[in-house]
Every structure is written in C-alpha cells, then in structure tokens.
Structure 1
C-alpha cells in the first residue's frame, strides 16, 4: 500500500482543514515547497497536493506553487482542486504533474470523465468526497444525489481505474477513516482505492492494508507527529514519470 503525504494549499500556505471547513484552518507552514522537499527526504514515494482555493472557486490560484513543487522534487506528484476543464488538466500535465484528481466535474458533467480518460488514460483519478453518505462537490460545500458505491460503479464503467475516497466528517479529525464505506467500495468495485480522511495512527493504516486498498492519504497525523512516514516506506522511490502500480503492490508498502 502506498502512503501519500498530503499538502493542502490555501492562500499560498500549507494548511489542514477540519472536516473541510475553511473557518477551521490550521497553518503548518508558509512554504509548501519546503514541506514537499521534507517529505521527499523522508522517503515519500509520491505526494498528494490539493489546491484548496481551486477546489472552492474552480480557479487554480496556486498554480505557480504547484509548478515549484513539481520542479523541486524527483518523486511523482498527483494534484487535485479546481480541475474542471481539459485545458486545465493539460496545463498541469505539461508542468510535470503525473496524475490529476478531479471531483466536481466528474459529478456535474457527464462526458468530462470520458474525455479525460481518452486523453490521459489512467493518469486521471476521481475523488469521491462524501457527507452523510452523499457525494459532495464545489469544495465539499454542495451535496449531490449520488451515493459513493453507486458513483464508483459509474466511474468504473467510464474507464476510471483509481479513486480517492474521503468521508468529510472524518477529515482532519484523526479519529480513523470510514472503514465501513471503504470496505464496501473495495468489495463492490475493482477500482484502486486511495483512502483519505481521519487517518491518525499506525493502526488505521494497518487496518486499511487488510482491506487490500491501493493507498492512503495522510495529512494532519504526519504534521503533528502521530504517524512517522519513515515507518511505512522502504528505502526505494518512484521517480517522476515512472508508472504507479495498477494494483496494490506490496513492494511499495
């Protein structure tokens, strides 16, 4: 299972939100590029970067910081937040981003996912962010009528190979992810599942491994020292441009 250290960017700074609420923000560093370098030094194999401003507004105001991150490290970077057009996706790919993570447009625009998959293949990941069981959009502030498993099956039909699943009520809490829903997704689809939201201790990661999930995104627990990255990665790395395993690969545990 791959551990994805998370760098969430808002107003140019590295932050974490509590349950996706912008009024409950903790700033961990003014320099996200420095944080990215530290994660690489600690043997991270890949980074998960989110433009929070982009997720809320649909405009990527932190594009220059993302560019600096990608060009300052050698490991692959996947980026989400505000990617709502083919042009924006291509812009990020041209900067050296290895995979893009989309959310809002995957729900709202029927053909967007198919068009992205045709263009970029398995470098497209969809984020399924849920609140009270419903998939949310526009920076997690609006709910749709989709349920997570239902939506995941639709994405699978459209050619998506990998999803990020987040229970918003767990995000930033470090009380553990929504194991029940993650297990349902694993049992009802053949998707690569990246678990996110609430991971706060080693036992959470160990339990996710028993489900056979592809990866786990860890944010606050890393910043606050509850989880140490070096405890979960071997002394190997994926270089930018190398292929992410299509299925779970225990050599990347």
Structure 2
C-alpha cells in the first residue's frame, strides 16, 4: 500500500482545513515545494497535492506552486482541486504532474471525464468526496443526491482505474477513516482505492492495508505531529521494492 503525504495549497501556502471548512484554516509552511522535498526526504514515494483555491472556484490558481513541487522532487505527484476542463488537465500534465484527479466534474460534466480518460488513460483519477454516503461537490460546499457507490461503478465502466475516496466528516478530525464506507467502495469494483480523511494512527494504516486498499493519504496527523511519517511507513511495511506507478502493489 502506498502512503501519500498530503500538501493542500491555498494562496500559495501549505495549509490544512477542518472538514473542508475554508474558515478553519491552519498554515503549516509558506513553501509547498519545500514541504514536498521534506516528505521525499522522509521516504515518501508519492505526493498528493490539492489546490484548495481551485476546488472552490474551479480555476487552477496555484499552478505555479504545483509546478515548483514537481520540479523539486524526484517522486511522482498527483494533483486535484478545480480540475474541470481539458485545458487544466493538459496544463498539469505539462507541468510534470503524474496523475490528475478530477472531482466535481465527475458529476457535473461526465463527458469531460470520458474525454480525459480517453486522452490520458491511467494518468486520470477521480476523487469521490462523500458526506453520509452521498457525493459532495464544489469544494465540499454542496451535497448531491448521487450515491458514492453508484458513481464508483459508472467510473469503472468508463475506464477509470484509480479513485480517491474522502469521507468529509472524517477529514481533519483525527478520528480515523470511515472503514465501513471504504470496505463497501473497495468491494464494489476492481478499482484502486486511495483512502483519504481521518487517517491518524499506525493502527488506521494497518487496518487499511489489511483491507487491501491501494493507498492512503495522510494530512493533518502528520502536520500536527500526531503521527510521524517514519511510523506510518513502518506500519505499512515499507517494502523498498519497485512499484507500478499506477497499479496495485
């Protein structure tokens, strides 16, 4: 299982929000690229980046900060937040991003998701952000009537290979992931599922690994030093073997 340290960018800085609430922000580093280099130094094999401004506005406002991250590290970087047009996808790929994560557009513009997958294949992932099992959009500010598992199955049908699943009510709360929902999602298809939201202890990581998840994103627990990345790697096994950039380990 791959561990993804998260770098959330707002206003060009590395921040964290509580339950996606833009009024509850903590700044952890003025330089996202320095933060990325630090995670690489500590043994990260993949970086997860979210453009929070993009997620809220639909415009990729932190593209330069993201480009600096991809230049600063020698490990792959996946990016989400505000990816709603092919121009944004193209720009991220051109900036050295290894995997682009589409969120809100998966509900609002299905044809765009199909086009992105047709053009870039496994370099496209989709973020399913859910509240009580229903998909949320627009930087988590709106909740739809679409069941997360129904969206998952449609994405499987059109050729998506990787899903980032976030339970909004768990995000930034340091209370553990929603294991029940993750189990349902992981068993509903053969897609690679990356758990996001609430991962805060070594026990969480072991449980996710035992559920055969492809990956787990860790954010606030690292920045608040509730969990060290070294401990997280130890929990997952930290096998330093060659791995497929997009496939299951």
The CA deviation at 1:110 is 2.1
Return 5+ residue gaps in structure 1 as ranges: none
Residue-by-residue CA offset, 1:171-211 (whole Å, 9 max, x unaligned):
00010011000000111111100000011111111111111
In 1, Cα distance between equivalents of 2:132 and 2:24 = 20
- The answer for the alignment partner of 1:47 in structure 2 is 47
Contact 1:43-1:236 at 8 Å conserved across structures = no
Higher normalized contact order (CA 8 Å, seq sep 6+, divided by chain length): 1
Change beyond 3 A, Cα 1:173–1:19: same
Superposition RMSD on alpha carbons, in Å?
Answer: 1.4
Q: Deviations over 1:129-150 (max 9, x none)?
A: 0112210111010111211111
Q: Distance in 1 between matches of 2:143 and 2:185?
A: 19
Query: Is contact 1:75-1:237 (8 Å) kept?
Result: no
For normalisation by structure 1, the TM-score amounts to 0.94
Question: Which residue matches 1:244?
Answer: 245
2:2 matches 1:2: yes
Q: TM-score if structure 2 supplies the norm length?
A: 0.95
Q: Which residue of 1 aligns with 2:22?
A: 22
Moved over 6 A (4+): none
**Counterpart residue number, 2:217:** 217
Match in the other structure for 2:205:
205
- 1:166-205 correspondence to structure 2 within 5 Å: 166-205=166-205
User: Which residue does 2:62 correspond to in 1?
Assistant: 62
Report how many aligned residue pairs link the two structures: 245
1:66-106 C-alpha deviation (Å, 9 max, x unpaired): 01110011110000011111111011101110000010111
Determine the C-alpha separation between the residues in 2 that align with 1:119 and 1:174: 37
The gaps in structure 2 that reach 5 residues or longer are none
Determine the C-alpha separation between the residues in 2 that align with 1:79 and 1:171: 18
Secondary structure of the structure 2 residue equivalent to 1:164: strand
Q: Which residue of 1 aligns with 2:71?
A: 71
Change (3 A) 1:157 1:10: same
